Structure 1
Amino acid sequence: MKYSFLALIIALTYSCSESPTKTYFGGEVVNPNSDYVYLYYDNNVIDSSKIDQSNRFSFKLDNAKDGLYHFDHNEYQYIILEKGDSLLMRLNTLDFDESLVYSGMGSEKNNFLIDMFLIYEDEEKAVNKYSELSPEEFLTKIDSLKSMKETLLNDINTKDPLSPIAKHIAQGAVNYRYFTDMEEYPFINKRRNGLTKIANLPANFYSFRKEVDYNDTLLMYYKPYFNYLVIHFNNLAYNYCKNECNGDLNYIERSLHYSTHKLQLIDSVVTKNKTIRDNLTRNVAFSFLLGRHSRAHNEEFMDAFHKYAGKNQHEEEINNFYQNVQNLQKGLTLPPIHLVDIKGNKVTIDSMSYKKNTVFYFWNYHQRDHQANVLTRIERLKKDYPNYNYVGINVNEDRSEWLQNLASISKLGDTLEQYQTDNIDELLGSLVIKSLNKIIIVDNKGKIIDGFGDIYHRKSLETSLSDSMKK
């Protein structure tokens, strides 16, 4: 429901006395880069507000659910909204997070949320440096940082007591980034200090895990909470495999049994919130299936997935993804690719189209640095492996802007074949493109040499290119 900004200002004055069931949220976006602000609850868009000529937007919510929301204007941030709140915000898109500030009813808890976000960002380098210290020294440093945040939260709560819901979310903003730092410490410490094994940890090192709620409905769409759970289950599975499974410790995280253990662990403890369970097991599935495993191991994993994560709300998506991954296995024929050439002609590249071995690469004209890096690396490969054909596929939708970029590329000396997709979803799905670093290599009959190459993994890429030329 849209609401005029003038009406919002009036609501800020009278909302508490008039109707505690209403919630107001609005503000100003300096240098807007799109026409709308979108409001989400439980990861679903519940409303949109068009930015007016004064760069203002506003929402009025009737009987809104109290809890965690997020707003989006090409970037996003979380907010806590409760009945009776009349929240104003101001931000400048040129400095989105750092410029964000709230006022009005509900501002204290939301300024705390953005403060926690910015403080943790500022602390990231220091915490990484602390990770080189002994476990005892690290605990002292990290506990001190957490204590300062909790003091700030207590001060806010003393001045104007937060509701149980707001306090729970605010405490989660403190806890779960701290918990993540704790879970990551043993592995960062091992890597940065060049150790062969993880340092011995104090008996109480993981005592914070007693505070973890695996089924937290209020935080289930809060990214720091979800990211923590992912890392936590990674660690639990790693330590189980380290103690119970045979194999090279350096390759545990690539193993089938490691991912199977994660599914079992999630299934055993995330028992009261199906959404969290489904999202976590979806993450396990995508992580494994993108790991360049054999067809047989992919099949075994999917058997385990259906056993431990059955009736998943993402099941259709995961099954389709699995099938697309299996279709890109070495030796199979690359699925047909539907494209548009520079003249506007629709082109299908299939097994009959190849005259010689071919390298496919992908780019986006909004990602200027990536585009330049990819083209530079492709030019280098073209000189080192001239017997290959190199085909660039643009993933943007605007044809005129694509052609303008091609003109710029041509001035730099790039005369490689260039196409644009005419169906972005089909292309990304059938070719399993989760990153534009992706490279696909096929032979002159369209048989896949490498369906999961990476433009930045030069050694592996050159092995595929060299070996195929020997045949």
Structure 2
Amino acid sequence: MFSCKKDKKTLEDHTAFFGGEIINPSTNYIIIFKSSEIIDTVYLDSNNRFKYTFNDFEPGLFSFYDGKESQSFLIQPQDSIMVRVNTVEFDESLVFNGIGEKENNYLMDLFLETEKQEQEILKISQLEPKEFETKLSKIRDAKLEKLSKFNRKHKTTKLFNTYAKANINYNYYYSKEAYPFINYSENEEAIFNKLPSDFFDFRSEIDYNNETLKDYRPYVSFLRFHFNNIALQEHFKHSKDDTYNNQSLDYNLDKLTLIEQKVSDTFIKNRLLYYNMIKFINASKSVDDYDTLLKSFQAKSTNNEQKFKATKLVNSYKLLKPGQIIPDLMVIDKNEEAKHLKDIINKPTIIYFWDAMDRYHLKVSHERAKDLQKKYPEFDIIAISINALSSREQAEILQRNNFNLNNEYHFENVEKAIELLSLKPVNKVFIVDKNAVIVNPKANMFDVMMETELLGLINK
């Protein structure tokens, strides 16, 4: 590691330094980005180190991507931050040093702590509302007290506190919104009706138009779940439904309407509208409903690029209906040999996809595939990466996660494949027959109904 400048006076007011070392790098560069905009590509030197200077920049959360995984960091004027990370245990090994280290290490620890508490919160979500609230509030209060002590000990900035408090509060809000969906004691409507009258009082504290937090994961995740929830409550008022059905056209129309009513920030509103439009298209098997929701989306969104993409996706899905032959794309096997996708399908086949940036899905999808293969040997199961990787790079990722390379492929042309197969989100699964004819373009590996469908195909 090379040293950081400790004298802030040596750094200009609108300048900051970011550098570090990548242990076991997968590429010879890192990409620095903010939101979805790439700021720069920075190459590693012979010691796998890099350095970058921010000039005349807007302080806030940026991210760096090493070719396989990404993580965010807070950068402010006069900061001089060094990061050290081992890609084998990316998040767990990441450490910051230098001017700005304390704030970044705190935010990183908060991120890891929240991840570790997921199972605990899932468990307490099975409790009665009052007991759930009490235990959840204790978790939040402990984090707020810890933050208060940190602020008293260190001279922290207003921007840091904005992110730290948002992480604590919006994860707390998220857990409360998720409660009716996680508690399986009754249907969602019955659970809503049994909640204490003040259960959702926190909603009065929601800022739907927080530009500082617009890209912050806890805030974005909360808003998505929040609109799921309030749209469902609205839907129950004028429908006969009493359970959550994300494929209901009326429910999704309610959601788009509520987003338009409550969010005025153009960026946040358009992104929420687009996310929910795409989510519906990816989930619903009723092709006839696509145009109705698309019309509502186009009337509310002001983002022409997103409207174009949504229209293109709807037209693409119309070509992926059951009975159509799967698009004839080229895939690359573990030996770097190119093959037609149709040519590697010789019997009923399950095709699933994975993204190296989504470690959780990578692991659970491969484990599920292994389980399905044992139970249904009548099917082939094919895994295809949606990353622009070489076969060697793909093999390294799989071997690092203890998965073999059998029936593993990646696309010759990733962008074309994502477009033709509408591979957003990546958890989509195709079921095709021995002639590569689509049986189901939207199967779910983790849905018990999928196994029913597989048995039906076996018995045909």
Aligned twin of 2:44: 51
Q: Which residue in the other structure is 1:428 paired with?
A: 418
Q: CA deviation at 1:436?
A: 5.9
Residue of structure 2 equivalent to 1:21? 14
Residues 17-43 of structure 1: CA deviation (Å, up to 9, x unaligned):
452221112233333333223222233
2:296 aligned partner, one-letter code: A
- Report what 2:298 is aligned to: 306
Percent identity reads 26
Q: 1:374 maps to which residue?
A: 369
Deviation (angstroms), 1:368: 8.0
The answer to whether 1:205 aligns with 2:199 is yes
Partner of 1:146: 140
Map 1:16-95 to 2 at 5 A.
16-73=9-66, 74-95=68-89
Aligned partner letter, 2:286? S
- Between stretches 369-378 and 106-115, larger displacement belongs to 369-378
Kept in 2, the 8 Å contact 1:450–1:464? The answer is no
Counterpart residue number, 2:401 = none
Match of 2:37, as an amino acid? N
- Higher deviation after alignment, 114-123 or 176-185: 114-123
Mapped pair 1:288 → 2:291: no
Letter in 1 for 2:102: E
- 2: CA distance, partners of 1:174 / 1:439: 38
How far apart in 1 are the matches of 2:369 and 2:12?
A: 57
In structure 2, the CA distance between the partners of 1:393 and 1:224, relative to structure 1 (3 Å rule), is: closer
Seen in structure 2, the aligned counterparts of structure 1 residues 469 and 303 have a Cα distance that, compared at 3 Å, is farther
Shift in alpha-carbon separation, 1:464–1:326, aligned structure 2, 3 A: farther
Q: Which of 321, 327, 334 does residue 325 from structure 2 map onto?
A: 334
The two structures have a TM-score, normalised by structure 1, of 0.80
Tell me the SS of whatever aligns to 1:314: helix
Partner of 1:174: 168
Q: CA separation of 1:85/1:327 partners in 2, compared to 1, >3 Å: closer, same or farther?
A: same
CA distance in structure 2 between the partners assigned to 1:399 and 1:96 by the alignment: 22
The answer to whether 1:452 aligns with 2:445 is no
2 CA distance for matches of 1:341 and 1:71?
28
Q: CA deviation at 1:183?
A: 1.0
Q: 5 Å matches for 1:156-171?
A: 156-171=150-165
The letter for the 2-side match of 1:279 is: R
Q: Is the 8 A contact 1:25 1:59 kept in 2?
A: yes
> Given the superposition, is the C-alpha separation of residues 177 and 448 from structure 1 closer, same or farther in structure 2, using an over 3 Å criterion?
same
Q: Is the 8 A contact 1:67 1:165 kept in 2?
A: yes
Report the residue type matching 1:142 in the other structure: L
1:218 maps to 2:212: yes
Question: Do 1:241 and 1:252's aligned partners in 2 also have CA atoms closer than 8 Å?
Answer: no
For 2:313, the equivalent position in structure 1 comes to 321
8 Å Cα contact 2:21/2:49 also seen in 1: yes
Alignment of 1:249-268 (within 5 A): 249-268=242-261
Partner of 2:121: 127
CA 1:432 to 1:379, structure 2 compared with 1: closer, same or farther past 3 Å? Answer: farther
Matched, 1:277 2:269: yes
Shift of 1:380: 5.4
Q: How many residues align?
A: 441
TM-score, normalization by structure 2: 0.82
Structure 1 residue 289: deviation in Å? 0.6
Equivalents in 1 of 2:271, 2:214: separation in Å? 9
Give deviations 1:291-324, integer Å, cap 9, x for gaps.
2332221121111111222435422222121111
> How far off its partner does 1:208 sit?
1.6
2:241 is the alignment partner of 1:248: yes
- Cα separation, 2, equivalents of 1:138 and 1:276: 31
Please tell me whether the aligned partners of residues 394 and 402 of structure 1 are also in contact (alpha carbons under 8 angstroms).
Answer: no
**Structure 2 CA distance for partners of 1:373 and 1:269, relative to 1, 3 Å:** closer
Partner amino acid, structure 2, of 1:440: I
Distance 1:90 1:79 in 2: 12
Taking the TM superposition and a 5 Å limit, the aligned residue runs for 1:386-405 are 392=382, 394-395=384-385, 398=390
Amino acid at match of 1:329: K
Largest Rg, 1 or 2: 1
CA deviation string 1:394-420 (max 9, x = no partner): 44754688999xxxxxxx9x9x9x987
Q: Is the Cα–Cα contact under 8 Å of residues 439 and 455 in structure 1 kept in the other structure?
A: no
Paired residues of 2:59 and 2:75 also in contact (CA < 8 A)? yes
Q: Which segment is superposed worse, 26-35 or 249-258?
A: 26-35
Indicate if the aligned counterparts of 1:49 and 1:58 stay in contact, CA closer than 8 A: yes
Q: Would you say the 8 A contact 1:37–1:48 is kept in 2?
A: yes
Checking the alignment, whether the CA contact within 8 Å between 2:368 and 2:445 is kept in structure 1 is: no
TM-superposed deviation, 1:46: 1.2
The verdict on how the C-alpha distance between 1:360 and 1:27 changes in structure 2, with shifts beyond 3 A counting, is closer
Q: 1:207 to 1:77 in 2, by over 3 A?
A: same
Structure 2 equivalent of residue 407 of structure 1: none
SS at match of 1:293: coil
- Where do residues 100-111 of structure 1 align in structure 2 (5 Å cutoff)? 100-111=94-105
In the alignment, structure 2 segments of 5+ residues that lack a partner are 357-361, 397-403
Residues 84 and 340 (structure 1 numbering): CA distance in 2 closer, same or farther, change over 3 Å?
closer
Are the aligned partners of 1:67 and 1:82 in contact in 2 as well (CA < 8 Å)?
Answer: yes
AA paired with 1:309? S
Structure 1 364/240 Cα, relative in aligned 2: closer, same or farther at 3 Å? closer
Give distance in 1, aligned partners of 2:151 and 2:305: 38
* TM-superposed deviation, 1:197: 2.2
Q: Is the 8 A contact 1:327 1:335 kept in 2?
A: no
RMSD of the alignment, in Å?
3.7
Please say if residues 68 and 78 of structure 1, whose CA atoms lie closer than 8 Å, have aligned partners that are also in contact: yes
